[in-house]
Chains A and B, each alone.
Chain A
Amino acid sequence: MNKFRKHDSDRLFAGALLSFALILVLFIFVIISVLIERSWKSITTFGFSFLTGQTWNPLRHMYGSLPFLYGTLISSLIGLVLATVVGGGTAILLTQFNHLRFVKLATFLLDVLATIPSVVYGLWGLFVLVPWLRNTGEPFLKATLGFVPLFSGQVWGVGLLAAGLILGIMMLPTIISVVRKLMDQVPQELQDGAIALGATRTEKVRMVVLPYARVGILGAVFLSFGRALGETIAVTMVIGNSPTISSSLFQPGDSLASVLVTQFLEASTHLYLSSLYEIGLVLLIVAVLFHSVSKFLVWRVSERARIA
C-alpha cells in the first residue's frame, strides 16, 4: 500500500518536472519556426546571395547581409582578443599570485562589473569612449601604426574599433571567472612538481597551468565570442550604423544585431521585414554554432579532469 503511494507521488512529480521541460522545447520550437516562416520570402527570393551580397540598400531593394556579418565578426574578434589578453592576465594574477590582499576585493568588483547593463555600457561608450577614441586614441594609433591598413583612413570615433572595445569590456567578467575556475582545477601536485624543479611562478604558469587549462580556455574564448556576436544595444550605440565593409577599424560599420535594432520598426515592405528576419536567423545560427563548440570544449576538459 505504502509502496504504491510512494511510487505514484514520484511519477506525478516527474511528470510535473517533465512538463516544464516540454514548455522549454515548445519555446525553442516557436522561436525557430517563427524566424524561418517570417524570413521565408527573403530566403526564396535571394537564396544564397543574401549571405554574399555586399550592398544593403532597402530603397533600391538590395538586401545583401555581408556587411553585417563582417561587422559582427570583426568587432567581436577585436573584443575577444582584448578580453582574452586582459582577462586571461587578470585570471592568472588572481589565481597564481593569490597571496595578494586585494583578491577578495577584486573578485567583488568583477562581480559588480558583470551586473552593469549593456545599455549603460553603450551610454558610456557613446559619450566617454568614442570622444576619447576620436580625439586621442585613434589619432595616436594612426600616427604609430598607420602603415597597417587596419589603422589608417579617416578617424570617426564611432566604428568597429569602438564596438570591439566595448565588447571586450563586456566579455571581461565572464572570461575572468571561467579562466579562474579552470586554473583552480589544475592539480596542486602538478604545480608543486614544477616549483620543486625550481620553476618561478611565471615558469610554472607556462609549464603546467596554461597547458593543463588550455582546452578549457579555448572553450571560454568561444563562449564569449558567441555571446559577443549577439550583443546588441551597446554595439548599436557605438558602431556607427553604416552597412559598409572597410579594411580600417576606424570606419563605421554595422552588425547583425544592431541593424535589427535600428531598422526593424522602419521596415516598410514585406520583403524588407522578411530580410531582417533572415538576418535574425543568420544571427541565431552563428551564435548557436559558437555556443555549442564552446560547450563541447569545456565539457571535454571537465571530462578529462574527472578521468585523471
Chain B
Amino acid sequence: MGKSLIVETLSAFYGKQQILRHVSMTMPEHQVTTIIGPSGSGKTTFVRCLNRLHETTPNAHMEGSVWLDHQNLYELDPIIVRRKVGMVFQAPNPFPTKTVYENVAAGLRLNGIRNKSIISEQVEKSLQLSSLWNEVKNSLHQPVWNLTRGQQQRLCIARALAIEPSVLILDEPSSTLDPLSALKIEELVEDLKSSYTIVLVTHNMQQAARVADLTALFLEGELVEQGSPADLFTRPRDKRTEDYLTGRFG
C-alpha cells in the first residue's frame, strides 16, 4: 500500500519571503522519516507542501515537484493528493460539532460513500488502527470533547487513516500532549509503518532517534543533512548539524 515520496528542489514562499530553499529528499515506503530542526526552520511548511495545503494559505506559493508512485502531485487535483497523503496536525483538531463516529466518517462521507455498513466497518477499522477502539467503542456517538487530548489526537489519526492514504504526515503530533499520550502515539507510529509511508515532524530528538528509519535536519529552510539516525546523530557530516546537535545553533 505504501509508496515512496520523492521531493525535488522544493522551494516555498509566503508572499515574497522564501521559507524553503531547494529541498530535495526521498521518503521511502514502509519507513518512518523524521524531520527535525529548530522551530521556525520550515518543517511545517515543508510537510504542508506534501499534501498541497501550503497553497491554500493566501499569498503562499511553491516551486519544485513532489512525486508519489510516478505521479507529480502538483499535476494532480489537490483533492486526490489529499486523499493519498493524510495529515495529522500539531494540536488535536477534531471537528468539535461532530461525534466521535462522525469525525472518523467525515472523510468517507466527503468522498461520497453512503453505504452505512461500509462506513461503520471503516470507522471501526481506523479506530482499531489508531488503538482507540477499545476506549471509545461505547461512546461512538458522544461529542468529541469528552475525550482526553491524547485520545483526540489518536482520533485525528483515525480520521486521516479512514480514507486509506498511502502517506501519513504527522506534524509534531505529541508536542502538546502529556508524556504517556506521547508514548502511545510513538508506539502507534511504529505499528503503522508496515502499511504506510510515514513522515513525522518532531522537536524531540530522542523520539526521532527511537522511531526513525531516516532522519532529516532542517535549518532556516534548508535541508542540511539526512541519513539514518545512527549516522546523523553520532557521525554528522555537516558542521551545522554538529552545532545543532550540541546545542550551539540558534
Residue numbers of A with Cβ under 8 A of B are: 98-99, 187, 189-190, 192-200, 203, 207-208, 211-212, 308
Contact = CB atoms under 8 A, between A and B. Distances in A.
Interface string B55-79: 0101000000000000000000001
B93 A199 contact: no
Contact of B93 (A98, A193, A200, A203): A193
A194 B95 contact: yes
A302 to B, nearest CB: 15
Shortest 9 CB-CB distances between A and B: which pairs?
A: A211-B97, A198-B82, A196-B87, A189-B93, A197-B107, A193-B93, A198-B79, A198-B83, A190-B93
Given A99-B58, A189-B91, A197 B96 contact: no
B53 interface: yes
B89 A212 contact: no
A198 B110 contact: yes
B82 A197 contact: yes
Best-buried of A190, A193, A200, A308 by chain B (most CB within 10 Å): A193
A200 B159 CA distance: 17
A195 B56 CA distance: 9
Given A190-B95, A211-B97, A196 B83 contact: no
B226 interface: no
B77 to A, nearest CB: 10
B89 to A, nearest CB: 6
Given A196-B160, A308-B96, 5 more contacts: A187-B93, A192-B89, A193-B156, A198-B83, A208-B97
Nearest to A198: B82
Nearest to A208: B95
A195 B106 contact: no
A215 B160 CA distance: 28
A195 B89 contact: no
B11 interface: no
B174 interface: no
A190 B96 contact: yes
15 contacts: A99-B58, A187-B93, A189-B93, A192-B53, A193-B93, A193-B95, A194-B106, A195-B82, A196-B51, A196-B53, A197-B110, A198-B110, A207-B95, A207-B110, A308-B96
B229 interface: no
B221 interface: no
Contacts of B87: 196
B93 A192 contact: yes
A198 B163 contact: yes
Interface string B215-238: 000000000000000000000000
B230 to A, nearest CB: 32
B150 interface: no
B138 interface: no
B42 interface: no
Nearest to A304: B96
B97 A212 contact: yes
Interface in B104-159: 106-107, 110-111, 156, 159
Contact of A98 (B53, B58, B83): B58
Contacts of A200: 79
Contacts of B107: 197-198
